[in-house]
Chains A and B, each alone.
Chain A
């Protein structure tokens, strides 16, 4: 059996997606549990890591899909109150605070992570939609299907008022169809560029004529609908719904979606071959485009939990900040955080364009690197910042961490995919010389945030 991965695309796909088993080289330890929990969520506390180590990875993953009912009820009350107060302000920007609060405090980490995935996939920008109510409703739609039925999600999104406004479907009339939504449905949401023709775009746009919004709701206007037959992807269709089904039946669709899931959870680089993705695509197709099965397969796989997989992803701004906050049980000023996330390239509800965030190396440039370090610097120093409700000193004492080396070891295990080197350790020690207590640890965290490893998941 192969245990050492060198080249991703040399891997036997039959091997890669089998359930991972611990071995001498790859034990089920704190670092690996931390890898699984941050990729499938954002960050994990020491006690969450300890709890995970009491189970097998498969049990941990099953559990991620099962959290519901009583455990979430209280949180949902809190969250919907926050949503109401944010909506009342009338600004879509404030909604981001509501979502950051969810990511930070919802017991369903994977659900929030996948909702973020779909937000990037069905990217819709509030700068054009304007109405926060509609943005919130779309977010709820994405969450409803995030771990479930992709087919239902696409049908839902095609009639989602925020999406209709964003891609100009609202004004798609019989006489002159508007191609915007039709194009992106195929190019970015379902099939990928190069697998359909310009004629398909024009025909598909005809199918959606008359899909309008009335008082914030979807409405079909038969007077503006072109009811002629359309040739789409080699088949005759008439209605928008049947056209969506036709797009959903495209043979490239399972590959297009699992490829994105692969990059979101496993690694930024290199690009996987279709051969490597085949078992995932087959499962997604045979599950009738239900997401949970293929997601479980990815998360519990030999590839996902291998040593190779460590440090293969650049943290997104949200992963970086929410991950750090969860690991150190931080609560803080989320309005500030929301502004800073925008500065470093990930404003929730304001993706850069309909393609969403590219991720990987695209997160990184001179500005965002300085911005990431500044974000952590300010977060750690903000008056409102608390660690499990108290001061940093008290929190560290509870963790039985009293000196810098112990902190670095603990931090490396739980938050860094690549441990800091001896040379870096020496330089860090030098730069905090003469400082002690709270101030020293704050300084150290700020310096860590400017290191290359801090950016890797």
Chain B
């Protein structure tokens, strides 16, 4: 879509003074540039992705507490039967998942078991890339699955960026889209351009053209990328500053990294941002040694923050348009290692929360005896999980986003 200079002037000018000094010129296709006059739609469904980085030990998260094999494989790490927060007669949650278990009771959480993919890769980076792009290294393009969805929405009128990544880590590949810059924001406080405070440029946007860029370097995609990123950054900075002016007095979020991120997301949603996909990560799940304390702390952080977020949305009457998906790049080996830890594994559960969900457990726990190289075998392709999100949540065709069609799961009630 082409944006005129007049629109750009209006959009980038105004009180956000310094922007005028920055742009080289070149119409930027991007959600921030689109449809400035369209209204904000509150009825749109939102997806929040929580990525557990490092490989979450699924077996000590959703625990087969009555299984002898489990205890045999985990002489030091097995969670005692009495400590498990029971879901049914075989499975229960890790004791530090009190928050998540509340969501289960309310019918606002669902656990999809045995998720993975064929010939699992046990490199963190390669496996994460597979989850992000739905493709193997050999055939990988530059886009992520959510990026492809964002790219497919170009005809939709949208005030705010469709996707938003909150966190200081590198932007997850899942959000990479062609021609659209998804903003990544480390913290709201740091996200204010200081030079704008004392420079008064006003609306002075001088004539500019693509020639500006062209002159500089014939085929420089890198500069074009920086140009688009700079404009996207300024627009997002301005929008968020405005959205967060009013404090939220009703929220009780745990004081943790993830709690803070989800608190910010809740405020953005309540401020009426029309963003559809929020992405956050929680790192530290690579528990090769001394797993018990570290894992318990991480699970508590995740469960408590998630519960606070859903409850806040619920109180605001917004929970029904929220779906939170939590995944990790792989599970861990069934047999514990000698360092009171676990090595990289394969199949693991994926968690959904937010809107009412059909049942607590979807699919069964993979067998603890029929293993592949010591790891759980998957029975549900992760792309089936994504297909369910795209088709049943966003209500759109999933094959374009995922490369091919996959059967959907019975997730929503």
Contacts and interface: CB of A to CB of B under 8 A. Distances in A.
A106 interface: no
A367 B185 contact: yes
B9 interface: no
A365 B21 contact: no
A373 B195 contact: yes
B20 A370 contact: no
Nearest to B171: A365
B72 interface: no
A235 interface: no
A371 B18 CA distance: 15
A364 B229 contact: yes
A250 B183 CA distance: 41
Contact of A423 (B191, B192, B208): B208
A419 interface: yes
A365 B194 contact: no
B217 interface: yes
Contacts of B223: 311, 418, 452-453, 456
Contacts of B230: 369, 450-452
A172 B18 CA distance: 55
Classify chain A: how many residues form its interface, as a range: 35 or more
B236 A366 contact: yes
B226 A176 contact: no
Interface stretch (B105-113, B117-125, B304-312): B117-125
A452 B193 contact: no
A430 B201 contact: yes
A283 interface: no
B24 A424 contact: yes
A423 B185 CA distance: 29
B227 A269 contact: no
A110 to B, nearest CB: 24
Interface in A329-383: 343, 345, 352-353, 355, 358, 361-362, 364-371, 373-374, 377-378
A353 B338 contact: no
A419 B223 CA distance: 12
B185 A366 contact: yes
B339 interface: yes
Contacts of B259: none
A322 B230 CA distance: 22
A419 B24 CA distance: 12
A123 B116 CA distance: 29
B207 interface: yes
A431 B171 contact: no
A367 B21 contact: no
A431 B186 contact: no
A453 B236 CA distance: 20
A193 B126 contact: yes
Contact of B338 (A173, A269, A419): A173
A401 B236 CA distance: 37
B contact patch SS: loop
A421 B220 contact: no
Interface string A85-106: 0000000000000000000000
Contact of A367 (B125, B168, B215, B339): B168
A314 B283 CA distance: 26
A371 B170 CA distance: 14
A263 interface: no
A9 to B, nearest CB: 14
B125 to A, nearest CB: 6
Interface string A255-298: 00000000000001100000000000000000000000000000
Contacts of A269: 221-222
A34 B83 CA distance: 64
Contacts of B53: 353
Contact of A178 (B18, B186, B206, B337): B337
A21 interface: no
B226 A455 contact: yes
A179 interface: yes
Interface in B341-377: 341, 343-344, 373
Contacts of A413: none
Given A173-B339, A269-B222, A427 B207 contact: no
Nearest to A455: B226
B307 to A, nearest CB: 27
A419 B212 CA distance: 11
Contacts of B41: none
A194 B126 CA distance: 10
A423 B53 CA distance: 44
A325 to B, nearest CB: 18
B225 A431 contact: no
A246 interface: no
B88 interface: no
B283 to A, nearest CB: 8
B171 A198 contact: no
A179 B344 contact: yes
B233 A366 contact: yes
Contacts of B133: none
A233 interface: no
Contacts of A168: 288-289, 339, 341
> Which of A345, A370, A451 has the largest count of B CB atoms less than 10 A from its CB?
A370
A378 B215 contact: no
A153 interface: no
Contacts of B25: 423
Given A269-B221, A352-B169, A374-B193, A198 B186 contact: no
A370 B190 CA distance: 8
Interface string A219-250: 00000000000000000000000000000000
B336 interface: yes
B24 A178 contact: no
Given A168-B341, A431-B199, A452-B24, A370 B212 contact: no
A421 B126 contact: no
Contacts of B338: 171-178
Contacts of B121: 193
Contact of B233 (A310, A369, A426, A453): A369
B311 to A, nearest CB: 28
B237 A370 contact: yes
A324 to B, nearest CB: 15
B137 interface: yes
Contact of A366 (B20, B184, B205, B343): B184
Interface in B205-247: 205-209, 212, 215-217, 219-223, 225-227, 229-230, 232-234, 236-237
> Which of B222, B225, B232 has the largest count of A CB atoms less than 10 A from its CB?
B222
Given A178-B289, A311-B223, A345-B168, 19 more contacts: A171-B339, A176-B335, A178-B338, A183-B122, A311-B220, A353-B283, A369-B229, A369-B230, A370-B191, A423-B208, A431-B201, A432-B199, A447-B22, A450-B21, A451-B21, A452-B22, A452-B227, A452-B229, A453-B223
19 contacts: A175-B338, A314-B222, A352-B169, A364-B229, A365-B233, A366-B181, A366-B236, A367-B185, A367-B187, A367-B190, A369-B230, A378-B194, A418-B216, A421-B216, A427-B206, A446-B194, A450-B22, A451-B230, A456-B222
Interface of A: 6, 167-168, 170-180, 183, 187, 193-194, 198, 201, 268-269, 310-312, 314, 343, 345, 352-353, 355, 358, 361-362, 364-371, 373-374, 377-378, 418-419, 421, 423-424, 426-428, 430-432, 443, 446-447, 449-453, 455-456
List the 9 shortest-distance A-B pairs measured between CB atoms, nearest first: A171-B339, A176-B338, A365-B184, A366-B183, A452-B226, A366-B233, A173-B338, A367-B186, A176-B337
Interface of B: 17-18, 20-22, 24-25, 53, 121-126, 137, 165, 168-171, 181, 183-187, 190-195, 198-201, 204-209, 212, 215-217, 219-223, 225-227, 229-230, 232-234, 236-237, 283, 286, 288-289, 335-341, 343-344, 373
